[in-house]
Amino acid sequence: MSEDLEAQHVDTLVDLLRIRPIQFCMFLAALFGEEQMGKMMSSSVQQVKTLRANRRKSLGREPELGEE
């Protein structure tokens, strides 16, 4: 986490954000059904991994563990 945040603030932030992904998945499932929600979330996770890897590569940084 950011060095600018104190440990207590990081803990508070983590607590506040812990259920957000679950809530968003419930929202998507209600709108599109569970199967489509799963596909959307899986696709989004893969897109973020790809974007982060490309960004690190463009900055000349080492790949993260598990990246090719």
Residue 63 has pLDDT above 60, yes or no: yes
Domain count, the chain: 1
**Residue 1 maps to a domain:** no
Mind listing the pLDDT tens digit for each residue in 3-42?
A: 677 888 999 999 999 999 999 999 999 999 999 999 999 9
Check if the beta carbon of residue 56 is closer than 8 Å to that of residue 66: no
**Residue 41 maps to a domain:** yes
Decide: pTM greater than 0.85.
no
Check if the beta carbon of residue 54 is closer than 8 Å to that of residue 46: no
Pairwise pLDDT comparison (2 vs 65), residue with the higher score: 65
**Residue 45 maps to a domain:** yes
Q: How confident is the model at residue 64 (pLDDT cuts 50, 70, 90)?
A: confident
Q: How far apart are CA 63 and CA 48, in angstroms?
A: 14
The pLDDT value given to residue 68: 62
Closest by Cα among 25, 45, 44 to 35: 25
